[in-house]
Amino acid sequence: MGRWWSAIALCCAAAVQAAPPARVEIGYQVLYNGSQLATANHVLEHDGRTYRLTETWEGSGLLALLGEVLRTSRGKIKAGRLQPLEYVDKRPRRDTATARFSWEENTLTQEFRKGPQVQPLPPHAQDRLSFLFAPAFHAPGAGRLEYNVADGKGIAHYQFDVVGRERLSVPAGEFDALRLDQVDDGGRATQVWFDAARSYLPLRVLVVQKDGTRIDQVAARITVTP
């Protein structure tokens, strides 16, 4: 009975989902086996029709010498869903990776080191930034979430199962969170927690490798502009 009512609640939440604030900035701590590895700052800006996502990533300690990573995603918002148009990943001393999505022509063009590689646009297409913020525009229901995530170098297929609600404590505060889980074919487990009370913004991403290595990205601060 409990699972049945949980499913109903999740479907109702999806039905009444409101768009996130016009501008949201989330600062994350990135931990490697519990030690500070880096800081990441995500900014979402949208006007209800288009969106832009920016991520800056800077290593801690000696990793700071590697410089700042900049990732951007821009696109459209259609029927409450994100449709990325262009994803760019810039890193010091490395070629820029790009992914361009043509929804009209149903093609995906990726480029990294070699020339542009064109292929059919896969279903549930997103990029490395947009898939994390997709639930903020279309709340998860009770079923499975599928994404084909492009990053300019290739495509990763993600299948997340909705586990349910739980209390989550992160440096940014304590939240009523919705947890999604995935275990891929290589034995890597990924868990993502979204703020169920504030437009399903991403609060924490935990990746546990097959060998037990843990990479944990937790929200340290959240700034919202209506």
CATH classification of the domain holding 84: 2.50.20
CB atoms < 10 A from the CB of 145, how many? 19
Q: Which pLDDT does position 116 carry in this prediction?
A: 97
Residue 138, domain extent: 2-225
pTM over 0.85: yes
Q: Which pLDDT does position 18 carry in this prediction?
A: 66
Q: Which pLDDT does position 143 carry in this prediction?
A: 81
* Surface-to-core class of residue 105, CB atoms within 10 Å of its CB (0-12 exposed, 13-18 middle, 19+ buried): exposed
The alpha-carbon radius of gyration of the chain (Å, integer) is: 17
87 phi/psi in degrees, rounded to 5: -125, 135
Residue 129 DSSP SS3: coil
- For the chain, the straight-line distance linking the first and the last C-alpha, in angstroms and rounded, comes to 38
Compute mean pLDDT per 10 residues along the chain, 226 residues long, and list them.
37 55 97 94 97 95 82 96 97 95 98 96 98 94 90 96 96 97 87 94 96 97 91
Number of independent structural domains in the chain: 1
Report how far residue 65's alpha carbon sits from residue 83's, in angstroms, rounded to the nearest whole number.
35
